[in-house]
Structure 1
Amino acid sequence: MKGKLVKFSSVFMAVAISFSVNAQSIKFDSVVNKQSDTLVLFKGEGDNVSFTQIDQQTAGQLSRAIKANAFDSSLNSFVQVIAPHQLNYDRVLVVGTGTEALSKPELTKLGGNIAGELSSKQILDVSIVAEQFDTKQVSLIAHGINLRSYDFDKYKKDKTQPKKYTFDVQDSSAVESAYARLLHIQDGVFLARDLTNEAPSELTPKDFVSEAKKLKKLGVKIRVLEPKQIKKLGMNALEAVGRGSVDGSRLVVAHYEAADGAPIAIAGKGVTFDSGGIQIKTGEHIVRMKSDMAGAAAALGTIKALAAMEAKVNVVAVMGLAENMVSEKSFIPGDILTTAEGLTVEITHTDAEGRLVLADSMWYVRENYQPSVLVDIATLTGGKYAALGTKMGGIFSNDDQLVKEFTFAGKAVNEPVWQLPLGYKEMLESPIADLRNSGKGGPSATTAASFLQQFVGETPWLHIDIAGNALAASPSGEVPVGGTGFGVRLLTEWILNQHEAK
């Protein structure tokens, strides 16, 4: 994985502050005589000083290009001028900013679209004149650039060469401060994307545990339950899903405790590959099933982001991990499983396994941490994808306030969510057990959420179904192709909002 190098420099100073996205390092470097190959100018309603000056230097070439392209300065509109007259740049990119003040999500998306527009391999060094933006706005644009510039090239022969982006700003130290938190958030996103993109043979439950243990250096407490411990605790639902694989199931707990009181709990579905079990999946859809652990990846990425920024919060993430594979040991339709909650489940479909993993995971975190609130996140149902597609996550909750908070947080970070109804519990009735693991008809996203509700007790709870959100088929805004890390920014924003509201 490679990100881009973003620099913030003052046009009046001889130093620049450079952030290496991968290494999270800060260094100082002179850029006085440095020449970039691309210049980016912003243009909203009317002209700004920089645009006018550059236009005059090109003898009006920019103005003519804008007119010829019917450029109206609307937000996220672009005009490129190649080999501009009398300028030492290979190209100038004019970026439309619209007529209204830009919001936080709009600025982030704008940065992502700039990176997309400049994705050519020939572009290596970009100077951005951002005179009309304040420090927080510049940091959000840079955040969007870095999020979009992520590239999982681990298995490619030709690696992506990082670009350098230099922002000319009045106060580079102020931008550095504003950007610091965003740097940690994007690293959490990158962790989730790396895990989601990884080949399933290289990311088994044991491998996921190894990645989680790396967070110990950030002060995160890691606890891992092995298959025998899972079985001993009566977590038979989690155990069953991993039974057909060589290594069995795991439960990993990542606890970042930097505040007193009951923790916020996040439960992430971590099915590192979902074959569908005995009722095996078919067609191209099965290739995407390496992403069936994206909920656990988002949970771990959130913990990393919070710990790296040293947020004063108490958050515990519990991630049930399993490979839903086919063998003579696999759980099968007709089996009766007794969950740690004590509820029995009739297996009516082996591809409805994620809710089994989550059921025991949510019991464990409630039993051992007594959280103030419980949020689970999972690539759970095709029904959610059918209802909301790829642009929104589906949320279900027993608490109206949580719905409002997550809806607000999702809008702020371009990870929108939409509430879907709970209900249809009668579709989960079994003549021989307390529950079926798949509904007898009804909307599948809702029946799956209703199944999970049986394992939350009296705890305020919200379920996020991210089926369709975990992998992107094409780039858009700050999101590249492949693993999206959906949920990291949403969860981090919501958790920080809770802290700041106290």
Structure 2
Amino acid sequence: MAQINYVSVNDPQAIFEGEGWDAVVVVATDVSTLGIDEITLLAGHGANIDHRVGRSATMLLAPGLAGGRLIISPVLNSGDDYADVRVYSDAARAGINLAKQAGAKKPLLLVASNSEQQYQHAMQVAALAVGQESWVALERREASGDVSDFEAIGLLASDDQCQALNAIEAGRILARDLCGTEPERMSAPAFAQYCLDAYQDSGLKVSVVEDRDVLERDYPLLSAVGRSSFAVARHQPRVVKVEYCPEGEINATYLFAGKGVVYDTGGADIKIAGGMAGMSRDKGGAAAVAGLMRTLSILKPKGVRVVAELGLVRNSIGSEAFVTDEIITSHAGVSVRIGNTDAEGRLVLADLLSHLRAKAQTAVAPQMFSVATLTGHVVRAYGGYTALVENSVARQQGVADKMQSIGEHWGEPAEVSRLRKEDFSKIVDPSDAADCISSNNGPSSVTARGHQYPAAFLLKASGLDQHALHSAQPIAYTHIDIAGSATEGDPLYGKPTAAPLVGLFNYIL
């Protein structure tokens, strides 16, 4: 697996003496705030002859610095009322891209500090942006042997900070590989095996459910989605169970359900007019959770237990495909009328959440989450931002507000959404034959409250509605819709972001 390597540089003299470093990349609102006279003088001289200096990423000849290259990548508009720490991401990516074009293999990244609260993690965010910019797709790596553009990235940071960044990036690389890889290379069985390989000797407790009888018994909704795929061995569903449990006292338990629809044809309600393109990315939720577990296994934080279930399934078409109007009973014993087979992700999640709910009832201070590229509506509503939709228990605990604040500081901003009574009205089966209906028969993107009401369905179908605020055993639950944030750039084939891994990791800590 490709791995970018962040290296702690404890001696600032490395900027001059090299130690194998072959470029200096400065990310700053004002280079003078670094307090390095040589860089300030070079930047000032460069600005006199090239007006791009200070306005866009620019490389200057710098014989006295490491590699003889000085790249100044300005942080623009940091004082704007609506700016956030991603201005440092933008600058770091522009600067490191220029370093790559110049042929640098071991650049030093210098990020000038900023006293404003919103920029407290600017160095880490900039460093992680370098990782995002440098990722090479798995298919490309396997075809050509290319691993990374850089041998190492030097940071004027502590060993502990670099260790944390390397662990986070290891998780993000796993998540990007799982999310971004085409549907045959990363089919459900291949996804499961890729996780097993990544978790080898990690200390995580890992198991894979693959027997059809067990899947149909314990994950009936998930198995309905994958019914047509059982006929093809390489497409058959899997459920990956992962648990991180450190030594010592447990103070909090976090339980994650990850949607891993490795390819979504829409099923019998087939996607048309090019609508299937990019649907190999419908596994971004499971991918992000898998990456999060990888990061936890490396850093081994104390006091927290983290349990995850990843539902991996291909929503195939064929004579065995499930169809609209079917009534299927979930693992929680809730009968569900299928409203649209293209609303398959919530079916996968409901069974996973039901299993996790059972574990949460005996866990210490449990919080439950689902992570999914679930709806087109969230993209219509929030563009490229993650949406957080919480139940009454999580809302009372301020879960989404805390997650939003942490994400804002770590370059993974999110929008807090609200469940309303109308959302529960939408899941009532008009025929009264079933306990609920999974969806309407139209696209979520043109459905009012199209990303909120699926959370109401998940509560009902998983049995979590029995653990509401005034129940005997309340359980906090937050649904995380990453349909807009799981990839960047091209809406179909853009680079996976691994969101919301960074925010979730820091929330857990």
Residue in 2 that maps onto 1:114: 95
Residue in 2 that maps onto 1:326: 317
SS where residue 255 of structure 1 aligns?
A: strand
SS where residue 271 of structure 2 aligns?
A: coil
Alpha-carbon distance in 2 for matches of 1:263, 1:411: 23
Q: What percent identity do the matched residue pairs reach?
A: 24
1:132 and 1:330, CA in 2 relative to 1: closer, same or farther beyond 3 A?
Answer: closer
Residue in 2 that maps onto 1:300: 290
1:145 to 130, 138, 148: 130
Alpha-carbon distance in 1 for matches of 2:13, 2:38: 21
1:160 and 1:83, CA in 2 relative to 1: closer, same or farther beyond 3 A?
Answer: farther
Alpha-carbon distance in 1 for matches of 2:387, 2:343: 19
Residue in 1 that maps onto 2:444: none
TM-score when scaled to structure 2?
0.81
- 1:8, distance to aligned residue in structure 2 (A): 3.5
Residue in 2 that maps onto 1:309: 299
TM-score when scaled to structure 1?
0.82
Residue in 2 that maps onto 1:450: 456
8 Å CA contact 2:18–2:67 kept in 1: the answer is no
Residue in 1 that maps onto 2:401: 404
Residue in 2 that maps onto 1:21: none
Whether 1:469 and 2:452 are equivalent positions in the alignment is: no
Residue in 2 that maps onto 1:281: 271
1:476-501 Cα offsets, whole Å, 9 max, x none, are xxxx94111112112111111xxxxx
1:252 to 227, 240, 245: 240
Whether 1:183 and 2:166 are equivalent positions in the alignment is: yes
- 1:146, distance to aligned residue in structure 2 (A): 2.4
Residue in 1 that maps onto 2:178: 195
Alpha-carbon distance in 1 for matches of 2:20, 2:273: 50
Alpha-carbon distance in 1 for matches of 2:209, 2:268: 26
1:414 to 397, 411, 432: 411
Alpha-carbon distance in 2 for matches of 1:188, 1:163: 18
SS where residue 278 of structure 2 aligns?
A: helix
1:435 and 1:110, CA in 2 relative to 1: closer, same or farther beyond 3 A?
Answer: same
1:422-474 Cα offsets, whole Å, 9 max, x none, are 23222222212111111365322122121112122312110011112212225
Structure 1: gaps spanning 5 or more residues: 17-30, 497-502
Whether 1:80 and 2:58 are equivalent positions in the alignment is: yes
- 1:137, distance to aligned residue in structure 2 (A): 6.2
Alpha-carbon distance in 1 for matches of 2:195, 2:64: 53
Q: Which amino acid in the other structure matches residue 163 of structure 1?
A: F
8 Å CA contact 1:472–1:482 kept in 2: the answer is yes
Q: Which amino acid in the other structure matches residue 207 of structure 2?
A: R
Q: Which amino acid in the other structure matches residue 191 of structure 1?
A: L
Alpha-carbon distance in 1 for matches of 2:179, 2:506: 21
1:336 and 1:42, CA in 2 relative to 1: closer, same or farther beyond 3 A?
Answer: closer
Residue in 2 that maps onto 1:23: none
1:128 and 1:207, CA in 2 relative to 1: closer, same or farther beyond 3 A?
Answer: closer
Alpha-carbon distance in 1 for matches of 2:145, 2:200: 33
1:299 and 1:138, CA in 2 relative to 1: closer, same or farther beyond 3 A?
Answer: closer
Alpha-carbon distance in 2 for matches of 1:176, 1:143: 16
1:340 to 331, 348, 357: 331
8 Å CA contact 1:61–1:84 kept in 2: the answer is no
1:94 to 58, 72, 77: 72
**Which residues in structure 2 correspond to 1:22-41 (within 5 Å)?**
32=17, 38-41=23-26
Residue in 2 that maps onto 1:390: 384
8 Å CA contact 2:427–2:438 kept in 1: the answer is yes
8 Å CA contact 2:427–2:437 kept in 1: the answer is yes
8 Å CA contact 1:138–1:175 kept in 2: the answer is no
1:375-403 Cα offsets, whole Å, 9 max, x none, are 11111111111111113434343322112
Whether 1:222 and 2:209 are equivalent positions in the alignment is: no
1:35 and 1:488, CA in 2 relative to 1: closer, same or farther beyond 3 A?
Answer: closer
Of 454-463 and 436-445, more deviation after overlay is shown by 436-445
Q: Which amino acid in the other structure matches residue 382 of structure 1?
A: G
Q: C-alpha root-mean-square deviation of aligned residues, in Å?
A: 3.4
Alpha-carbon distance in 1 for matches of 2:126, 2:168: 14
Aligned residue pairs: how many? Answer: 465
8 Å CA contact 2:27–2:72 kept in 1: the answer is yes
8 Å CA contact 2:340–2:440 kept in 1: the answer is no
Alpha-carbon distance in 1 for matches of 2:425, 2:221: 21
